[in-house]
């Protein structure tokens, strides 16, 4: 009568959201559920995703990280190596699957704490398997989906078509105003094929590279140019040539040997140098 | 076990339940789902009466098996302890 059988993915994801929310409630961490089934149905032409995504108020990231690890979530990839933006950390739980914990959102240049407050401003509660979970307001959800589409380099064009292409002028203006408040106009433009209007912007090169599928080194140079401070830029420069040991571990299914790290380092350097040569030869347009 | 938070999803005749935040997810079908629902909506002690009322079965015929199953649900953290 009681079985532990395969559970449909959409139900497992709902339960996963509920589970992480229960932990957040216990410690008083501010969390917004984003992407996937947390997205309002009016904005969701695509599938419900394969993992749980949450945006956490920056001041609460450390304590939520500690709390979920105590409850069985294992760190899968870190902020440093999880994505080129360093914005999210991925965890894996034996029952709930993958969880992406975002401390910021790619494309938003407003300070992460202030951005969280803006996204939370019109937020509301949704029910996830009996547990109330807070989500951003609907306009904020729309902007996040568009920014996500920009980062996906066109893979999520269904979201752009659904949200932006169908939007009335007044709706576009409202979303653009919100993007301005989040200092996300350039990334929004990358999603809406309007990027060339921002050629002089600090983060133009970054979004040009990402949205058009540029080389990895072009993306790194874009990130360095887009850094908001010299300190951040230096940190990126230091990080750029390092080997992503986490990714190598996942690819190999085990910890890499020193020799494998060494070889990967050389291969990565070679790739970047080849890309740099191609990049510097390419006529600037 | 803290059973104050239980995730629940009902789909057709299947009930998915899990204690939060640790899990696991338990899938209840048929009479199991009926017992869970009966135990969930009122005093646990009266679950057998509610199942009998819903199914038309004599309560004395099902009481032992209902109570045993309620005990299993409690042990899994899927019902508040009595």
- Global ipTM: 0.87
Which residues of chain B are within 8 Å of residue A71 when distances are taken between CB atoms? 21-22
How far apart, in whole angstroms, are the C-alpha atoms of residue A272 and residue A257? 22
- Chain B CB contacts of A128 under 8 Å are 7
Tell me, what's the pLDDT at A46? 60
Which H/E stretch holds residue A89? strand A88-93
User: Rounded CA gap, A103 and A124, in Å?
Assistant: 20
Q: Which residues of chain A carry a pLDDT beneath 70?
A: 1-5, 45-47, 81-84, 153-156, 213-226, 228-247, 258-259, 261-285
Confidence band of B2 (pLDDT split at 50, 70, 90):
very low
pLDDT recorded at residue A284: 42
The answer to whether residue B59 sits within a structural domain is: yes
Residue B82 belongs to a domain? no
Q: If you measure CA to CA, which chain B residue comes closest to A15?
A: B7
Q: 3-class SS at A33? A: strand
First-to-last C-alpha distance (Å) of chain B? 13
Residues on A contacting B at a C-beta cutoff of 8 Å: 1-5, 7-8, 11-12, 14-15, 18-20, 22-23, 71-72, 93-96, 128-131
Q: Could you tell me if residue B24 is inside a domain?
A: yes
- Mean pLDDT of the region B5-31: 91
Q: pLDDT tens, B30-74?
A: 889 989 989 888 888 999 999 999 889 999 999 999 999 999 999
Q: Round to whole Å and give the CA distance between A167 and A251.
A: 41
Would the CB atoms of B25 and A11 count as touching at under 8 Å?
yes
**Residue in B closest to A19 by C-alpha:** B21
Average pLDDT over every residue of B19-28 = 93
pTM above 0.90, yes or no: no
Query: B36 — contact with chain A (CB < 8 Å)?
Result: no
Query: Could you tell me if B37 lies within 8 Å of chain A, comparing CB atoms?
Result: no
Q: Supply the pLDDT for residue A2.
A: 52
Return all residues near A152 (Cβ < 8 A) that are at least 6 apart. none
B13 domain-assigned: yes
User: What does the pLDDT read at residue A208?
Assistant: 85
Q: What is the largest CA-CA distance in chain A?
A: 69
Query: In which residue are the tokens 């240049």 written?
Result: A109
Residue whose structure tokens are 């200092």: A183
CB B25 within 8 A of CB B39: no
Q: What is d(CA A252, CA A20) in angstroms, rounded to the nearest whole number? A: 29
Nearest-CB residue to A7 (from B5, B25, B76): B25
A165, A205, A169, A167: which is closest to A187 by C-alpha? A205
**Domain of residue B41, residue span:** 6-75
- CA distance between the termini of chain A: 67
Phi, psi of A213 (to 5 degrees): 70, 45
In a domain, residue B80? The reply is: no
- The answer as to whether B1 is a domain residue is no
Domain count for chain B: 1
How confident is the model at residue B3, as a pLDDT? Answer: 43
Contact call for B9 and A2, based on CB within 8 A: no
Domain-located, residue B27: yes
Provide the pLDDT for residue A175: 97
Q: At what angle do helices A258-281 and A216-226 cross, to 10 degrees?
A: 80
Q: Is residue B11 part of a domain?
A: yes
> Do the beta carbons of residue A87 and residue A79 sit within 8 Å?
yes
What pLDDT does B12 receive? 79
A61-107 confidence digits (pLDDT tens): 999 999 999 999 999 988 876 666 788 999 999 999 999 999 999 99
């Amino acid at each position: 009568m009681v079985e532990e059988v395969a559970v449909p993915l959409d139900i497992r994801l709902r339960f996963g959201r509920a589970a992480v929310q229960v932990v957040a409630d216990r410690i008083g961490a501010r969390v917004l559920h984003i992407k996937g089934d947390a997205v309002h149905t009016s904005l969701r032409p695509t599938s419900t995703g394969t993992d749980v995504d949450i945006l956490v108020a920056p001041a609460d990231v450390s304590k939520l990280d500690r709390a979920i690890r105590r409850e069985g979530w294992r760190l899968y990839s870190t902020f440093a190596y999880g994505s080129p933006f360093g914005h999210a950390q991925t965890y894996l739980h034996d029952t709930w699957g993958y969880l992406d914990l975002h401390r910021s959102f790619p494309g938003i240049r407003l300070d992460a704490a202030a951005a969280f407050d803006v996204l939370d401003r019109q937020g509301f509660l949704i029910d996830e398997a009996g547990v109330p979970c807070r989500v951003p307001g609907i306009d904020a959800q729309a902007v996040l989906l568009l920014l996500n589409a920009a980062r996906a380099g066109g893979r999520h064009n269904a979201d752009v078509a659904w949200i932006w292409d169908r939007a009335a002028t007044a709706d576009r203006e409202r979303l653009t105003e919100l993007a301005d408040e989040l200092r996300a106009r350039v990334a929004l433009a990358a999603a809406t094929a309007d990027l060339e209007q921002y050629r002089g912007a600090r983060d133009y090169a970054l979004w040009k590279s990402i949205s058009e599928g540029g080389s990895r080194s072009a993306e790194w140079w874009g990130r360095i140019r887009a850094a908001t401070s010299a300190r951040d830029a230096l940190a990126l420069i230091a990080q750029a040539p390092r080997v992503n040991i986490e990714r190598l571990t996942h690819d190999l299914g085990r910890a890499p040997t020193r020799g494998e790290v060494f070889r990967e380092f050389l291969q990565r350097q070679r790739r970047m140098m080849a890309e740099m040569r191609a990049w510097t030869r390419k006529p600037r347009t | 076990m803290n059973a104050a938070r239980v995730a629940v999803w009902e789909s057709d005749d299947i009930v998915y339940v899990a204690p939060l935040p640790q899990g696991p997810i338990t899938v209840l079908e048929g009479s199991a789902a009926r017992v869970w629902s009966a135990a969930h909506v009122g005093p646990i002690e009266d679950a057998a009466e509610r199942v009998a009322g819903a199914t038309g079965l004599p309560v004395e015929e099902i009481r032992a098996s209902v109570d045993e199953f309620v005990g299993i649900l409690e042990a899994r953290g899927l019902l508040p302890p009595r």
